[in-house]
Homo-oligomer: A and B are copies of this chain.
Amino acid sequence: MTSGQNPTRESILGGPAVILVQPQLGENIGACARAMLNCGLTDLRLVKPRDGWPNPKASAAASGADLVIDNAKIFETTADAVADLEAVYATTVRTRDMIQRFVTPRVAAGEMRERYAAGQKVGVMFGPERTGLVNDDLTFAQTLVTVPLNPAFSSLNLAQAVLLIGYEWFQAGDRTPDRFLHTGQTRPATMAERVNFFERLEAALDRTGFFTSEEKRPSMVRTLRNAFERMEMTEQEVRTFHGVVAALVQGSRRKGENQD
């Protein structure tokens, strides 16, 4: 269940309509609803679902995506289901005889984001499990979407096809940084904190005779500092490593080694 009372949450819901043409299994409709809500999509439209509607199997398979199931709309024809939309995309794994524009899911998602932002209503059609969309349905689509996959084994189940389109839709609007270091309660160490640790480590190593010669010392120091820098230490980790060095020095002193 999604209450949508959080404004951030609310704003990511909506998006393109997902039109399932003559879906067969309730389980698949439910799994589609779950995949839709994973991706913030809530407008589910069913054209002649084989086993009628509502369908308890769909509700069970939706795993809590009740928001989508409860608001699903039922249509007698594909024409009715897409009537209010300005642009319709259709998924198909096969290249047809028809002359049609094909795009990848990523391009389709970008185009749909642009249209959606401009206030247009858009939708994506998916065909029945076994047969896919028939050519008469495809004439309602201005653009076909085909998912690049292993050509020797490209058949996706219905919910997985919905998930991939929904995933690209969500990514196209998502502002998550591509990569980041999660530092929990701490923060990245400052350069001064890191250098302070490096100097302490190097001083401790100087006392042990680790640097075999004054000549080799600079390159060995660079090797160590570069390795530690790749670690992207947090302030907490710098303190931990100070402790590690202290413990090692202390331990070796206790054992009577390297007393200097």
| Chain A residues proximal to chain B, CB less than 8 Å | 2-4, 6, 8-9, 12-13, 35, 37-40, 63-65, 95-104, 106-107, 144, 146-156, 159-160, 163-164, 167, 170-171, 174, 176, 178-186, 232, 234, 236-237
Min distance, Cβ A212 to any Cβ of chain B, angstroms: 30
In Å, the complex CA distance between A246 and B102 comes to: 31
On chain B, the residues within 8 Å of A179 by CB distance are 101-104, 107
A2 CB contact (under 8 Å) in B99, B152, B170: B152
A182 touches B102 (CB 8 A): yes
The residue that A99 contacts in the complex, of B155, B163, B181, with Cβ under 8 A, is B181
CB pair A153 B99 closer than 8 Å = no
A2 nearest CB neighbor, chain B only: B152
State the majority secondary structure of interface residues on A. Answer: loop
Known: A160-B160, A160-B163, A163-B163. A153 touches B65 (CB 8 A): yes
A107 in complex: contacting residue of B4, B95, B144, B178, CB < 8 Å: B178
Specify the chain B residue showing the minimal Cβ separation from A153: B37
> CB-CB < 8 A to A186: which residues of B?
99
B178 and A38: CB pair below 8 A? no
Q: Report the separation of the CA atoms of residues A147 and B64 in the bound assembly, to the nearest whole angstrom.
A: 19
Most chain B beta carbons < 10 A, residue from A107, A153, A159: A153
The verdict on A153 contacting B96 (CB below 8 Å), with A171-B148, A178-B107, A179-B101 known, is no
CB pair A160–B35 under 8 Å, yes or no, is yes
